[in-house]
Amino acid sequence: MSDWIMRSAEPRDADGLAQCVTAAYQLYVSRMGGQPPGPMLTDYAEEIAQHQVWVAEANGEIIGGLVLIPYEDHILLDNIAVHPAYQGQGVGRTLLELADAEAMLQGYGELRLYTHVTMTENIALYTRLGWIETHRGEQDGYARVFMRKPLPVQEGNAGSQ
């Protein structure tokens, strides 16, 4: 297992995060009939500037990333990605635990996410980790599965930051 750290993303991380996300999602392109998953099309400089973004880093290379977007009554786990060379080493689980911790720290009682219907292993993982499928539907040209995860509410009010 390689040594890696997690930290808040900085503007200089945008290219590395984009490369990591592309590597992580590449296997889904063929499953999705050649359509690139939404995270592969994202401007990560903009994400870092506008949202709560963390990266996992090993030897100066971005190996994982997490994007959270706060709303009034929940935090959206907008993206989580781990470079294929580092999958199975706890990076993804640690990023998911960070999402839970950040949501609770900020006073939220719920996380939400959506994923593509073809990402069946991700849906299974989220389900094992306490996520509940709420519905399926078309959004932005993608067939998505929408999920939520209730969290114990900590001190503070939802949305307080």
- Residue 40 domain-assigned (yes or no): yes
For the stretch 5-56, pLDDT in tens is 999 999 999 999 999 999 999 999 999 999 999 999 999 999 999 999 999 9
Proportion of the chain above pLDDT 70, given as a percent? 93
Would you say residue 48 lies in a domain? yes
pLDDT for 38: 95
Structural domain total, the chain: 1
Side chain identity at residue 10, one-letter code: E
Domain presence at residue 119: yes
Residue 30 lies in a domain: yes
Domain boundaries, position 113: 5-150
* CATH number assigned to the domain comprising residue 91: 3.40.630.30
Query: pLDDT tens, 130-149?
Result: 999 999 999 999 999 999 99
In a domain, 128, yes or no: yes
How far is residue 119's CA from residue 126's CA, in Å, rounded to a whole number? 11
Q: Is residue 158 part of a domain?
A: no
- Per DSSP, the three-state class of 87 is coil
Q: Which amino acid is at 61?
A: E
Radius of gyration of the chain (CA): 15
